Amino acid sequence: MALLSPSKPAHARNGSERPPRRVGFSQRLGRLDVKVSPYLYISPFFLVFAVVGLFPLIYTAVVSVYDWNLLGGQGDFVGLQNYVDVLNQPLFWKSLVNTFSIFLLSSVPQVILAIVIAALLDQNLRAATFWRMGVLIPFVVAPVAVSMIFGRLFADQYGFINEILGLVGMDPVAWHGDRLASHVAIATMVNYRWTGYNALIFLAAMQAVPRELYEAAVIDGAGRVRQFFSVTVPQIRATIIFVVITSTIGGLQIFDEVRMFDAQGLGGPDRDWMTTVVYLYDVAWGNQKAFGRAAAVAWLLFLIIIVIGMINFLVTQRISTSGAKGPKVSRRQTRELIRQARAAGEVPAVAPASGSAGGPAPGTAPSTRRTAHPSDVSDHNHGEDAR
Partner 1 sequence: MSSVAVTAQTAGKGAARAAARRRAQGKASGSATRRAGWVVYLLLAIALVVSVFPLYFTLLLGSSDPVSIAQNAIPQWLPDASIFGQFQEVVTSDAINFWKALGNSVLIGVVCSASVVLFSTLAGYSFAKLSFRGRGPLLVFVIATMAVPTQLGIIPLYILMSEIGWYGKVQAVIIPGLVTAFGVFWMTQYLSEALPYELIEAARVDGASMIRTFWSVALPAALPAASMLGLFTFVQQWTNFFWPSIILTNENPTLPLVVRSLQANYFVDYSLVMGGIFLVTLPLLVLFAFVGRQLVAGIMAGAVKG
157-186 residues near partner 1, rule: CB under 8 A: 158-160, 162-163
* Per-residue binder mask for partner 1 (CB under 8 A), 318-337, x = binder: --------------------
20-39 positions binding partner 1, by CB under 8 A: 30, 33-35, 37-39
Task: Examine residue 366 and tell whether it contacts partner 1 (CB under 8 A).
Answer: yes
Task: Examine residue 345 and tell whether it contacts partner 1 (CB under 8 A).
Answer: no
Of residues 81 and 246, the one with the C-beta less far from partner 1: 246
Q: Which of 18, 20, 48, 174 binds partner 1 (CB under 8 A)?
A: 48
What's the rounded Cα separation, in Å, for the pair 291 and 72? 10
Output the DSSP codes for 72-96: TEEEEE-TTHHHHHHHT-HHHHHHH
Local structure of 201: helix, strand or coil: helix
Q: Which of 14, 75, 177, 211 binds partner 1 (CB under 8 A)?
A: 211
Query: Cβ distance 174 to 285 under 8 Å?
Result: no
What is the 8-class DSSP label of residue 9? -
CB of 261 to partner 1, least distance (A): 10
Q: Which of 174, 137, 139, 170 is nearest to 155 (CA)?
A: 174
Task: Examine residue 16 and tell whether it contacts partner 1 (CB under 8 A).
Answer: no
What's the rounded Cα separation, in Å, for the pair 320 and 125? 27
Task: Examine residue 343 and tell whether it contacts partner 1 (CB under 8 A).
Answer: no
Answer positive or negative: Cα dihedral of 379, 384, 386, 387.
positive
Task: Examine residue 128 and tell whether it contacts partner 1 (CB under 8 A).
Answer: yes
Of residues 33 and 270, the one with the C-beta less far from partner 1: 33
Size of the site for partner 1 (CB under 8 A): 134
* Per-residue binder mask for partner 1 (CB under 8 A), 230-269, x = binder: ------------xx-xxx-xx-xx-xx--xx--x------
Of residues 11 and 318, the one with the C-beta less far from partner 1: 11
Task: Examine residue 305 and tell whether it contacts partner 1 (CB under 8 A).
Answer: yes
SS (H, E, C) 208-257: CCCHHHHHHHHHCCCCHHHHHHHHHHHHCHHHHHHHHHHHHHHHCCCCHH
Amino acid at 124: N
